[in-house]
Protein backbone atom coordinates (compact mmCIF):
# COMPACT_ATOMS: atom_id res chain seq x y z
CA UNK A 1 0.00 0.00 0.00
CA UNK A 2 2.71 2.40 1.00
CA UNK A 3 4.60 1.52 -2.15
CA UNK A 4 1.54 2.33 -4.25
CA UNK A 5 1.02 5.69 -2.56
CA UNK A 6 4.69 6.50 -2.98
CA UNK A 7 4.52 5.72 -6.67
CA UNK A 8 1.27 7.67 -7.04
CA UNK A 9 2.87 10.69 -5.37
CA UNK A 10 5.94 10.35 -7.57
CA UNK A 11 3.72 9.96 -10.62
CA UNK A 12 1.99 13.21 -9.77
CA UNK A 13 5.16 15.16 -9.29
CA UNK A 14 6.78 13.74 -12.44
CA UNK A 15 3.54 14.04 -14.37
CA UNK A 16 2.64 17.63 -13.56
CA UNK A 17 5.17 19.34 -15.89
CA UNK A 18 3.95 17.03 -18.63
CA UNK A 19 0.35 17.79 -17.78
CA UNK A 20 0.91 21.50 -18.36
CA UNK A 21 2.56 20.77 -21.69
CA UNK A 22 -0.18 18.36 -22.79
CA UNK A 23 -2.93 20.81 -21.84
CA UNK A 24 -1.16 23.60 -23.68
CA UNK A 25 -0.62 21.47 -26.78
CA UNK A 26 -4.21 20.30 -26.65
CA UNK A 27 -5.50 23.85 -26.61
CA UNK A 28 -3.35 24.74 -29.62
CA UNK A 29 -4.24 21.64 -31.59
CA UNK A 30 -7.94 22.00 -30.86
CA UNK A 31 -7.78 25.27 -32.77
CA UNK A 32 -6.36 23.38 -35.76
CA UNK A 33 -2.67 24.25 -35.47
CA UNK A 34 -0.08 21.50 -35.07
CA UNK A 35 2.27 22.06 -32.14
CA UNK A 36 5.64 20.31 -32.39
CA UNK A 37 7.66 23.00 -30.62
CA UNK A 38 6.85 21.79 -27.10
CA UNK A 39 10.37 20.51 -26.38
CA UNK A 40 11.96 23.84 -27.23
CA UNK A 41 9.27 25.87 -25.49
CA UNK A 42 9.60 23.84 -22.27
CA UNK A 43 13.36 24.34 -22.29
CA UNK A 44 12.99 28.06 -22.88
CA UNK A 45 10.41 28.27 -20.09
CA UNK A 46 12.71 26.41 -17.74
CA UNK A 47 15.80 28.46 -18.51
CA UNK A 48 13.87 31.73 -18.25
CA UNK A 49 12.51 30.66 -14.87
CA UNK A 50 15.97 29.58 -13.71
CA UNK A 51 17.67 32.83 -14.73
CA UNK A 52 14.95 34.94 -13.19
CA UNK A 53 14.80 32.92 -9.99
CA UNK A 54 18.54 33.18 -9.44
CA UNK A 55 18.52 36.94 -10.12
CA UNK A 56 15.50 37.83 -8.02
CA UNK A 57 15.11 34.91 -5.66
CA UNK A 58 11.38 34.98 -6.25
CA UNK A 59 9.58 31.94 -7.73
CA UNK A 60 6.64 34.13 -8.68
CA UNK A 61 8.88 36.30 -10.83
CA UNK A 62 10.37 33.13 -12.30
CA UNK A 63 6.94 31.88 -13.32
CA UNK A 64 6.11 35.26 -14.80
CA UNK A 65 9.31 35.12 -16.84
CA UNK A 66 8.44 31.66 -18.14
CA UNK A 67 4.96 32.80 -19.10
CA UNK A 68 6.34 35.86 -20.89
CA UNK A 69 8.77 33.71 -22.87
CA UNK A 70 5.92 31.33 -23.68
CA UNK A 71 3.74 34.17 -24.92
CA UNK A 72 6.55 35.46 -27.14
CA UNK A 73 7.24 32.07 -28.68
CA UNK A 74 3.51 31.47 -29.08
CA UNK A 75 3.12 34.77 -30.89
CA UNK A 76 5.95 33.75 -33.21
CA UNK A 77 4.39 30.34 -33.94
CA UNK A 78 0.98 31.93 -34.50
CA UNK A 79 2.39 34.60 -36.79
CA UNK A 80 4.21 31.98 -38.86
CA UNK A 81 1.38 29.47 -39.09
CA UNK A 82 -1.79 31.61 -39.03
CA UNK A 83 -0.73 34.80 -40.79
CA UNK A 84 2.03 33.56 -43.09
CA UNK A 85 0.56 30.03 -43.43
CA UNK A 86 4.00 28.48 -43.14
CA UNK A 87 4.05 24.71 -42.90
CA UNK A 88 3.06 24.05 -39.29
CA UNK A 89 5.33 21.04 -38.86
CA UNK A 90 8.37 22.97 -40.02
CA UNK A 91 7.51 25.94 -37.81
CA UNK A 92 7.14 23.65 -34.80
CA UNK A 93 10.40 21.84 -35.46
CA UNK A 94 12.16 25.17 -35.88
CA UNK A 95 10.80 26.25 -32.51
CA UNK A 96 12.17 23.09 -30.89
CA UNK A 97 15.63 23.44 -32.44
CA UNK A 98 15.75 27.14 -31.67
CA UNK A 99 14.57 26.62 -28.08
CA UNK A 100 16.98 23.87 -27.19
CA UNK A 101 19.93 25.72 -28.71
CA UNK A 102 19.16 29.09 -27.17
CA UNK A 103 18.29 27.67 -23.74
CA UNK A 104 21.60 25.77 -23.63
CA UNK A 105 23.45 28.97 -24.49
CA UNK A 106 21.58 31.16 -21.99
CA UNK A 107 21.84 28.61 -19.21
CA UNK A 108 25.60 28.00 -19.44
CA UNK A 109 26.47 30.31 -16.52
CA UNK A 110 23.86 28.90 -14.15
CA UNK A 111 24.02 25.19 -14.98
CA UNK A 112 23.80 23.14 -11.79
CA UNK A 113 23.16 26.11 -9.49
CA UNK A 114 20.41 25.41 -6.94
CA UNK A 115 17.36 27.63 -7.00
CA UNK A 116 17.17 30.11 -4.12
CA UNK A 117 13.40 29.91 -3.68
CA UNK A 118 10.73 27.24 -3.98
CA UNK A 119 7.12 27.31 -5.12
CA UNK A 120 5.03 27.66 -1.96
CA UNK A 121 3.17 24.62 -0.74
CA UNK A 122 -0.51 24.70 0.11
CA UNK A 123 -0.72 22.79 3.36
CA UNK A 124 -4.08 21.30 4.16
CA UNK A 125 -3.60 19.89 7.69
CA UNK A 126 -7.20 18.73 7.96
CA UNK A 127 -6.49 16.20 5.20
CA UNK A 128 -3.59 14.58 7.02
CA UNK A 129 -5.58 12.01 9.04
CA UNK A 130 -7.34 10.80 5.87
CA UNK A 131 -5.56 7.67 4.60
CA UNK A 132 -4.04 7.91 1.12
CA UNK A 133 -5.55 11.32 0.34
CA UNK A 134 -3.61 12.80 3.25
CA UNK A 135 -0.32 11.50 1.90
CA UNK A 136 -1.10 12.60 -1.62
CA UNK A 137 -2.84 15.95 -1.23
CA UNK A 138 -1.98 17.47 2.14
CA UNK A 139 1.30 19.09 1.13
CA UNK A 140 1.11 19.78 -2.58
CA UNK A 141 2.68 22.86 -4.12
CA UNK A 142 0.65 25.64 -5.66
CA UNK A 143 1.53 24.69 -9.24
CA UNK A 144 0.12 21.19 -8.88
CA UNK A 145 -3.12 22.63 -7.57
CA UNK A 146 -3.10 25.01 -10.50
CA UNK A 147 -2.76 22.06 -12.88
CA UNK A 148 -5.84 20.42 -11.31
CA UNK A 149 -7.77 23.64 -11.70
CA UNK A 150 -6.64 23.86 -15.33
CA UNK A 151 -7.81 20.34 -16.15
CA UNK A 152 -11.27 20.99 -14.73
CA UNK A 153 -11.39 24.51 -16.11
CA UNK A 154 -10.42 23.37 -19.57
CA UNK A 155 -12.93 20.56 -19.54
CA UNK A 156 -15.73 22.93 -18.60
CA UNK A 157 -14.47 25.46 -21.10
CA UNK A 158 -14.48 22.97 -23.96
CA UNK A 159 -17.78 21.27 -23.27
CA UNK A 160 -19.84 23.78 -21.30
CA UNK A 161 -19.20 27.24 -22.73
CA UNK A 162 -19.93 28.91 -26.02
CA UNK A 163 -16.24 29.71 -26.48
CA UNK A 164 -15.40 26.04 -26.07
CA UNK A 165 -17.96 25.17 -28.71
CA UNK A 166 -16.37 27.74 -31.00
CA UNK A 167 -12.98 26.17 -30.38
CA UNK A 168 -14.20 22.66 -31.16
CA UNK A 169 -15.81 23.89 -34.37
CA UNK A 170 -12.70 25.82 -35.29
CA UNK A 171 -10.42 22.79 -35.26
CA UNK A 172 -12.88 20.58 -37.09
CA UNK A 173 -14.12 22.94 -39.75
CA UNK A 174 -12.79 26.51 -39.89
CA UNK A 175 -15.06 27.12 -42.92
CA UNK A 176 -18.10 26.51 -40.75
CA UNK A 177 -16.74 28.60 -37.91
CA UNK A 178 -16.10 31.46 -40.30
CA UNK A 179 -19.57 31.33 -41.75
CA UNK A 180 -20.98 31.40 -38.23
CA UNK A 181 -19.16 34.64 -37.53
CA UNK A 182 -16.32 33.29 -35.41
CA UNK A 183 -13.07 35.21 -36.04
CA UNK A 184 -10.88 32.30 -37.18
CA UNK A 185 -7.47 33.97 -37.20
CA UNK A 186 -7.89 35.88 -33.93
CA UNK A 187 -9.16 32.80 -32.16
CA UNK A 188 -6.22 30.76 -33.41
CA UNK A 189 -3.78 33.43 -32.28
CA UNK A 190 -5.31 33.37 -28.82
CA UNK A 191 -5.16 29.60 -28.53
CA UNK A 192 -1.60 29.30 -29.80
CA UNK A 193 -0.34 32.02 -27.45
CA UNK A 194 -2.20 30.74 -24.38
CA UNK A 195 -1.25 27.15 -25.13
CA UNK A 196 2.42 27.98 -25.64
CA UNK A 197 2.37 29.83 -22.31
CA UNK A 198 1.09 26.67 -20.64
CA UNK A 199 3.84 24.61 -22.23
CA UNK A 200 6.44 27.09 -20.99
CA UNK A 201 4.83 26.86 -17.56
CA UNK A 202 5.37 23.10 -17.76
CA UNK A 203 9.07 23.77 -18.28
CA UNK A 204 9.14 26.13 -15.30
CA UNK A 205 7.33 23.56 -13.15
CA UNK A 206 9.90 20.94 -14.15
CA UNK A 207 12.65 23.26 -12.99
CA UNK A 208 11.14 24.74 -9.83
CA UNK A 209 9.30 21.73 -8.42
CA UNK A 210 10.65 18.54 -9.94
CA UNK A 211 14.36 19.11 -10.59
CA UNK A 212 16.70 20.95 -8.27
CA UNK A 213 18.64 22.97 -10.83
CA UNK A 214 18.94 23.91 -14.48
CA UNK A 215 20.96 21.55 -16.62
CA UNK A 216 21.26 21.59 -20.38
CA UNK A 217 18.47 19.67 -22.12
CA UNK A 218 16.84 18.94 -18.79
CA UNK A 219 13.48 18.11 -20.39
CA UNK A 220 15.04 14.96 -21.87
CA UNK A 221 12.38 14.58 -24.52
CA UNK A 222 9.40 15.38 -22.31
CA UNK A 223 8.20 17.92 -24.86
CA UNK A 224 8.03 15.18 -27.46
CA UNK A 225 6.32 12.85 -25.04
CA UNK A 226 3.75 15.59 -24.49
CA UNK A 227 3.09 15.63 -28.23
CA UNK A 228 2.52 11.88 -28.18
CA UNK A 229 0.36 12.09 -25.06
CA UNK A 230 -2.02 14.50 -26.82
CA UNK A 231 -2.82 11.69 -29.24
CA UNK A 232 -3.04 9.26 -26.33
CA UNK A 233 -5.44 11.66 -24.57
CA UNK A 234 -7.49 12.05 -27.75
CA UNK A 235 -7.50 15.84 -27.35
CA UNK A 236 -9.49 15.63 -24.11
CA UNK A 237 -8.30 17.40 -20.92
CA UNK A 238 -9.48 14.72 -18.46
CA UNK A 239 -7.68 12.02 -20.41
CA UNK A 240 -4.67 14.33 -20.55
CA UNK A 241 -4.44 14.05 -16.76
CA UNK A 242 -4.49 10.26 -16.95
CA UNK A 243 -1.94 10.23 -19.75
CA UNK A 244 0.47 12.57 -17.98
CA UNK A 245 0.28 10.66 -14.69
CA UNK A 246 0.66 7.35 -16.44
CA UNK A 247 3.91 8.53 -17.96
CA UNK A 248 4.90 10.07 -14.62
CA UNK A 249 4.34 6.72 -12.90
CA UNK A 250 6.59 4.94 -15.40
CA UNK A 251 9.22 7.58 -14.87
CA UNK A 252 9.02 7.13 -11.09
CA UNK A 253 9.02 3.36 -11.40
CA UNK A 254 12.25 3.33 -13.37
CA UNK A 255 13.86 5.57 -10.81
CA UNK A 256 12.70 3.37 -7.94
CA UNK A 257 13.97 0.16 -9.48
CA UNK A 258 17.28 1.90 -9.84
CA UNK A 259 17.26 2.84 -6.16
CA UNK A 260 16.53 -0.72 -5.08
CA UNK A 261 19.79 -1.52 -6.83
CA UNK A 262 18.91 -3.97 -9.57
CA UNK A 263 21.42 -5.19 -12.13
CA UNK A 264 19.60 -3.64 -15.06
CA UNK A 265 21.73 -0.84 -16.52
CA UNK A 266 20.24 2.55 -15.69
CA UNK A 267 20.04 3.49 -19.37
CA UNK A 268 17.49 0.76 -19.89
CA UNK A 269 15.47 1.89 -16.90
CA UNK A 270 15.41 5.43 -18.20
CA UNK A 271 14.18 4.11 -21.50
CA UNK A 272 11.09 2.46 -19.97
CA UNK A 273 8.69 5.43 -20.20
CA UNK A 274 9.62 6.14 -23.79
CA UNK A 275 9.38 2.53 -24.92
CA UNK A 276 6.04 2.15 -23.17
CA UNK A 277 4.80 5.33 -24.86
CA UNK A 278 5.62 3.86 -28.26
CA UNK A 279 3.96 0.57 -27.32
CA UNK A 280 0.86 2.35 -26.02
CA UNK A 281 0.55 4.39 -29.20
CA UNK A 282 0.90 1.22 -31.27
CA UNK A 283 -1.71 -0.55 -29.18
CA UNK A 284 -4.15 2.36 -29.34
CA UNK A 285 -3.62 2.74 -33.06
CA UNK A 286 -4.39 -0.93 -33.49
CA UNK A 287 -7.38 -0.99 -31.16
CA UNK A 288 -8.94 2.14 -32.66
CA UNK A 289 -8.16 1.30 -36.27
CA UNK A 290 -10.95 2.41 -38.54
CA UNK A 291 -12.42 4.69 -35.87
CA UNK A 292 -12.08 8.46 -35.75
CA UNK A 293 -8.92 9.37 -33.81
CA UNK A 294 -10.51 12.29 -32.04
CA UNK A 295 -8.09 14.60 -33.79
CA UNK A 296 -9.51 17.92 -34.95
CA UNK A 297 -10.30 17.26 -38.59
CA UNK A 298 -8.63 20.35 -39.97
CA UNK A 299 -5.48 19.96 -37.88
CA UNK A 300 -2.54 21.31 -39.85
CA UNK A 301 -4.56 22.86 -42.68
CA UNK A 302 -4.21 26.63 -43.00
CA UNK A 303 -7.49 28.43 -43.56
CA UNK A 304 -7.88 30.82 -46.46
CA UNK A 305 -11.38 32.17 -46.88
CA UNK A 306 -11.34 32.88 -50.60
CA UNK A 307 -9.75 29.57 -51.53
CA UNK A 308 -11.79 28.04 -54.31
CA UNK A 309 -13.31 24.77 -53.24
Partner 1 sequence: MTLPYALEMRGIRKQFGSLVANDDVDFAAKTGEVHALLGENGAGKSTLMCMLSGVYRPTAGDILIRGRKVSIRSPKDALALGVGMVFQQFRLVPTLTAAENIILGEKSSVWRGASWMRRKTEEITAVAERFGLGITVDRPVWQMSVGEQQRVEIVKVLYRGADIILLDEPTSVLTPGEADRLFETLLKLRAAGKTVILTTHKLREVMAFADRISVMRKGRMLKTLNRLETNERELAQLMVGRNATGAVRPEAGTPGKPLLEVEGLTVEAGRGRTAVRGVSFTVREGEIVGIAGVAGNGQSELAEALAGLQAWSAGTIRVCGREWKRASVRTAIESGVSLVPENRMKSGLAGSLGIVDNLLMKTYREPERSRFGLLRGRRNREWARSLVERFDIRATGLDTPVRQLSGGNQQKLLLAREVDRDPKLMIAVHPTQGLDIGATESVHRLLLGLRASGRGVLLISEDLDEVMQLSDRILVMSGGSIVGEMSRENADRERIGLYMAGLRAVPGEAAS
**Residue closer to partner 1 (CB basis): 259 or 309:** 309
Residue 289 beta carbon to partner 1: minimum distance, rounded to whole angstroms: 9
Residue 295 beta carbon to partner 1: minimum distance, rounded to whole angstroms: 10
Residue length, the chain? 309
Cα 35 from chain centroid? 11
**Residue closer to partner 1 (CB basis): 162 or 261:** 162
- Identify the DSSP state of 125: G
Listing DSSP states for 83-113 in one string gives: IS---HHHHHHHHHHHHHHHHHHHTGGGTTP
Look at residue 213 and give its three-state secondary structure: strand
**Residue closer to partner 1 (CB basis): 267 or 287:** 287
Residue 154 beta carbon to partner 1: minimum distance, rounded to whole angstroms: 15
Residue 180 beta carbon to partner 1: minimum distance, rounded to whole angstroms: 3
Residue 8 beta carbon to partner 1: minimum distance, rounded to whole angstroms: 34
**Residue closer to partner 1 (CB basis): 135 or 178:** 178
Residues in the site for partner 1, rule: CB under 8 A? Answer: 160-163, 165-166, 168-169, 172-173, 175-182, 290-292, 297, 305-306, 308-309
CA–CA dist 156, 174 (Å, integer): 22
**Residue closer to partner 1 (CB basis): 56 or 293:** 293
Listing DSSP states for 113-148 in one string gives: PBPS--PPEEE-GGGTTSTTHHHHHTEEEHHHHHHH
**Residue closer to partner 1 (CB basis): 49 or 177:** 177
Q: Which residues pair with residue 45 across a beta bridge?
A: none
**Residue closer to partner 1 (CB basis): 183 or 265:** 183
Residue 88 beta carbon to partner 1: minimum distance, rounded to whole angstroms: 20
Helix or strand run (H / E) with residue 192: helix 184-205
- Identify the DSSP state of 114: B
- State the Cα torsion 210-240-146-123 to the nearest 10°: -60
Is the alpha carbon torsion for 259, 260, 261, 265 positive or negative?
A: negative
Residue 206 beta carbon to partner 1: minimum distance, rounded to whole angstroms: 33
Is the alpha carbon torsion for 211, 219, 26, 62 positive or negative?
A: positive
Residue 140 phi/psi, 5° resolution?
A: -85, 155
Amino acid sequence: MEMIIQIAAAAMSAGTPLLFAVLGGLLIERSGIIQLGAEGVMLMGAVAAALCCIRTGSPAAALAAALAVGATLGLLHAFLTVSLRVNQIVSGLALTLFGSGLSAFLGRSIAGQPMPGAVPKLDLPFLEPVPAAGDLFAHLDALTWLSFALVIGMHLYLYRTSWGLHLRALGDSPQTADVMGIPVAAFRYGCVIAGTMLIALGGADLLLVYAPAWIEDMTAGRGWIAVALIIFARWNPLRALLAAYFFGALDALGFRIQLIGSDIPSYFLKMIPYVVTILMLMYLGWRNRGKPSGAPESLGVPYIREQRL
